[in-house]
């Protein structure tokens, strides 16, 4: 019975991932090049934190990366795991990641997702909750995958930086399971193919990062 329940949970998790993989492709990509997000007008952190607070202590309301992005966060409606905001300057929190104790932040690559391409290992990530509490992470890795069947939500994915091919199920586990972390996710367009690949940026708690990389914190 336990094995059956485990297989059922895996199938459910995979189904949610397939919805997310497809949902990020619904909007056409504009001519704006990847990584061209304008960071010249970012507010300072104090201003940003005050702007997104609404008094709700347990609700994530903003994500801030110095010199990279400052995005209010919207929540997915219950029962809509494929929802990704169509508003620019917004990130969407992925509810399914919450169930694994992690934070998933989604955005279309022609909207706020373009700023994800400017994130680098060592960058500090600050999450702001409705009551003003801040939680600090540091980016530990940037993962880029090519969809081997770009027009299929069931595609396997090839890691562009090492010899690794993952099924959709195993990719979901790779980026959303494990110890507490933040995962930024958007799509990669290449050669005119909107669904060519996926970008995942992983950030771990700042204290953990500093312990592992005492000389590399920015």
Superfamily of domain 2-212: Sortase (2.40.260.10)
- Banded pLDDT at 11 (limits 50, 70, 90): very low
87-127 confidence digits (pLDDT tens): 999 999 999 999 899 999 999 998 999 999 999 999 999 99
Label residue 151 left, alpha or beta by phi (over 0 means left) and psi (-120 to 50 means alpha): alpha
More confident residue, 70 or 4: 70
- Banded pLDDT at 41 (limits 50, 70, 90): confident
173-182 confidence digits (pLDDT tens): 999 999 999 9
- Bridge partners of 93, per DSSP, are 75, 105
133-168 confidence digits (pLDDT tens): 999 999 999 999 999 988 787 889 999 999 999 998
Share of the chain above pLDDT 90, in %: 65
For 81, 94, 105, 141, the CA distances from 90, given in Å and listed in that order, are 17, 13, 10, 22
Question: What are the domain boundaries of the chain?
Answer: 2-212
What three-state secondary structure class fits 168?
helix
Share of the chain above pLDDT 70, in %: 80
- CA-based end-to-end distance of the chain: 49
For 24, 139, 155, 157, the CA distances from 149, given in Å and listed in that order, are 16, 29, 5, 8
């Amino acid at each position: 019975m336990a094995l059956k329940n485990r297989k059922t949970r895996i199938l459910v998790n995979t189904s949610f991932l397939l919805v997310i993989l497809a949902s990020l492709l619904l909007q056409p990509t504009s001519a704006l090049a990847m990584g061209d997000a304008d960071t010249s007008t970012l507010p300072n952190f104090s201003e940003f934190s005050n702007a997104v607070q609404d008094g709700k202590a347990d609700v994530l309301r903003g994500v801030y990366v110095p010199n990279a992005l400052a995005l209010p966060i919207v929540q997915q409606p219950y029962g809509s795991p494929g929802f990704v905001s169509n508003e620019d300057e917004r990130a969407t929190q992925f509810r399914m990641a919450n169930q694994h104790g992690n934070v998933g932040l989604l955005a279309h690559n022609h909207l706020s997702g373009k700023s994800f391409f400017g994130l680098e290992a060592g960058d500090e990530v600050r999450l702001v909750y409705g009551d003003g509490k801040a939680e600090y992470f540091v980016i530990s890795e940037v993962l880029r995958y090519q969809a081997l069947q770009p027009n299929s939500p069931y595609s396997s994915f090839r890691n562009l930086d090492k010899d690794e091919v993952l099924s959709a199920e195993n990719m979901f586990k790779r980026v959303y399971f494990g110890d507490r972390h933040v995962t930024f996710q958007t799509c990669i367009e290449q050669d005119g193919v909107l669904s060519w690949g996926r970008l995942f940026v992983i950030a771990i708690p700042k204290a953990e990062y500093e312990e592992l990389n005492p000389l590399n914190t920015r």
